[in-house]
Structure 1
């Protein structure tokens, strides 16, 4: 199943995300995932490490449902510190490519005052469209 990436020609070229994706199949809604391990412990106080572990946890949900990274069509990242995000973009980008290749779903990044779990700096939720 191939998704159709939507990039309006009159928009500036996005960096690290797609403007839209058309897909058909089974919808999987992924609850917000933070950077915890199997023992419900935050893996690190480092921002990039937390971002990538949160992404790994999203990917784990998709795989558990029988999907793959290319089935992820929408991600929303909630971050507590935009400066920390900006400082970590190189590490996040490298880790992203190792996990997701050059595929970029539609994405939104939102700064929030805090997250429910103490020590959590990043939470990522998503939507995947799995093969029918």
Structure 2
């Protein structure tokens, strides 16, 4: 029996090579962008979503923490977690930062060195 408390679009794809927490983060971000998870949508509690998706609660909790850190959702204590309105500029900056982090990790640079490089570029005269 399907859990109707799970918003549409949060189902994971077993053929997707990404880890479940990354797939879940992507689904929530995509839902916010395409309108299937409009701002104010209450996300299911961690345990309920984990059970519905067949995941460990820690996997869903990790995705929620990362979404909150990225400003995609907000947690209001016992009221739950909600999709935040998108700030397009911030969203673009987060996407750019994610691409940069992936690229420098592939180059073998430390996080500290990567941050030094970004800081230097941000302070460079334009």
Structure with more of its chain in strand, by fraction: 1
Larger relative contact order (CA 8 Å, sep ≥ 6): 1
TM-score category (smaller protein) = 0.3 to 0.5
TM-score (ref. length: structure 1): 0.35
- Greater gyration radius: 2
